Amino acid sequence: MRAAIRGLGIVGGFGSGIEKLKHTLISGKRTPKLIQLSIKKRTIEMPVYLCDTSPLGAFLNKRALRRVDHFSRLALLGSFLAMEDADMLQADHENFAIIIATGYGASNTTFSFLDTAFDDGDACASPTLFSNSVHNAAAAHVSILLKARGPNLTVSQFEMSVPSAMLAACQWLEDRVADAVLLGGVDEYCSVLGYCWQRFFGADPPVSMKPVEWKTQSAIIGEGSAFFLLTRDEGDEPKYGFITDIQIGHVRKYKPQSPGDAFLFLGADGQKSSGIYYNRHIPHGARSAVYTPLYGSLPVGLAFDMAIGALSVREDTVFATPKHAGKDSGLNIFGKEQCLNSERISCLKFSCDGEFAMITMAGT
């Protein structure tokens, strides 16, 4: 199971595009915005990594984007950026497959649909909002606007959405059911999610994420999309390298098995409930990096780490973990940028239930 990464499209709180991501990795700058939430009759401020999808205007006109919600815009912007990066925007996409992984889908539209029924009665529920609230609406918009007529799949498995989607992508490439697979992880912020966050994790929002302080709840909500244009290994050297291995399991029975020389990119995102698994299952002194403070905590965060992994392969560089990610983790966390030396990278994610996924990437 091996897939070549030909293009990357990424949208996060830091901006959009692979060069924006690179700039953020080098600067280490964190960009959450403060939003106001009303909880128990008091207003609190909460940091969230929010995205701007206006750069989508460079690819699609207003008419094409009419009635397209924020979630689908995140997906479209990530998709078009990945296609542009691969120099495939003008190509024939007839035999391209589309796969989208999402933790919660288009939550804002889901609740907006409920608003229409609450406000004006069941008979006035909005058909447009309903059809856009369906989980696979974003994948449909991408297919329609790219004219991609291969298989189309949306999966929703919370933190394991991205690896389970990646499994399907590699399978489809191997079985030759598509010439290429455009795969992305997408999740959005909505105020209900903010409310849930506060109720679950307490009324005092964290000031910054400290993901390797395993016992500290420091997660800050993120939103965005990360897309990959994948093809079969065609015997060349794709600029972002290859996905060489996908492991999915549960700590009840397995442990993630990283190739001996691989750098570990940890998906630890300040969630105490999953932090304990990193602490328990990563060998002491393992060469690790954590980038979640740059993009936030979201179910499809693994796609962001994979994008950073692919960029690291392209640059043959392991970027520094942002400062203040935490201390005393027992790991060898990179505080400074260093050469990758063509070694492998394994992106590791644990869910709060003990499921794990590890996706390994390499330049050759």
**Stretch 169-228 residues interacting with other proteins (CB under 8 A):** 171, 174-177, 192, 195-196, 199-200
Alpha-carbon dihedral angle through residues 137, 12, 288, 181, given to the nearest 10 degrees: 40
Report helix, strand and coil shares of the chain as percent, to nearest 5: 35, 25, 40
Compute the least distance from the CB of residue 99 to other proteins, in Å.
Answer: 10
Element (H, E) at 292: helix 292-295
Q: Is 113 in the site for other proteins (CB under 8 A)?
A: yes
Span interacting with other proteins, options 145-153, 231-239, 263-271, 303-311, rule CB under 8 A = 145-153
Q: Are strands 332-333 and 287-290 parallel, antiparallel or unpaired?
A: parallel
Our CB check for other proteins shows the closer of 107 and 288 to be 107
Phi, psi at residue 324, to the nearest 5°? 65, 25
Nearest Cα to Cα of residue 21 among 238, 235, 224, 268: 224
The CA-CA-CA angle for residues 249, 311, 272, to 5°, reads 45
Task: Report whether 315 contacts 339 (CB < 8 A).
Answer: no
Q: Which of residues 149-168 bind other proteins (CB under 8 A)?
A: 149-158, 160, 164, 167-168
Cβ-contact 305, 293 below 8 angstroms: no
* Under 8 Å between Cβ of 227 and 10: yes
Find the binding residues for other proteins in span 339-358 (CB under 8 A). 353, 355
Asked if 229 touches other proteins (CB under 8 A), the answer is: no
Write the CA distances from 244 to 2, 145, 173, integer angstroms: 5, 30, 13
Q: How far is the CB of 18 from other proteins (least distance, A)?
A: 26
- The answer to whether 122 contacts other proteins (rule: CB under 8 A) is yes
From candidates 107, 297, 346, 360, binder to other proteins by CB under 8 A: 107
Question: By three-state DSSP, how is residue 4 classified?
Answer: strand
* Cβ proximity of 249 and 363 under 8 Å: no
Question: Which residues does residue 242 pair with via DSSP β-bridges, in sequence order?
Answer: 4, 362
Q: Which of 4, 18, 86, 140 binds other proteins (CB under 8 A)?
A: 140
Nearer to other proteins, 254 or 323 (CB): 254
User: Which positions from 32 through 71 interact with other proteins, judged by CB under 8 A?
Assistant: 38-41
Among positions 49, 71, 80, 104, the unique one binding other proteins when judged by CB under 8 A: 104
Q: Which is nearer to other proteins, 23 or 280 (CB)?
A: 280
Binding segment toward other proteins, per CB under 8 A, in 73-81, 100-108, 328-336, 338-346: 100-108
Query: How many beta carbons lie within 10 A of that of residue 232, not counting itself?
Result: 17
Please report how close the Cβ of residue 67 comes to other proteins at its closest, in angstroms: 9
> Encoding tokens for residue 33?
């915005």
Contact with other proteins (CB under 8 A) among 15, 28, 59, 111: 111
Residue 301 sits at φ, ψ, to 5 deg, of: -55, -30
Among 20, 31, 59, 130, binds other proteins (CB under 8 A): 130
Looking at beta carbons only, is 42 or 336 nearer to other proteins? 42
**For the chain, how many residues are written?**
364
- Interface positions, 248-277, toward other proteins (CB under 8 A): 248-250, 252-254
Estimate to the nearest angstrom the gap between the alpha carbon of 216 and the chain centroid.
Answer: 22
In the complex with other proteins, which residue's Cβ is closer, 26 or 114? 114
Give me the least distance between CB of 60 and other proteins, in Å please. 15
How big is the site for other proteins, counted in residues (CB under 8 A)? 71
Among 24, 53, 79, 132, the residue binding other proteins under the rule CB under 8 A is 132
At its nearest, how many Å lie between other proteins and the CB of residue 1? Answer: 7
Q: How far is CA 294 from CA 4, 161, 304, in A?
A: 26, 21, 10
Nearest approach, Cβ of residue 74 and other proteins (Å): 17
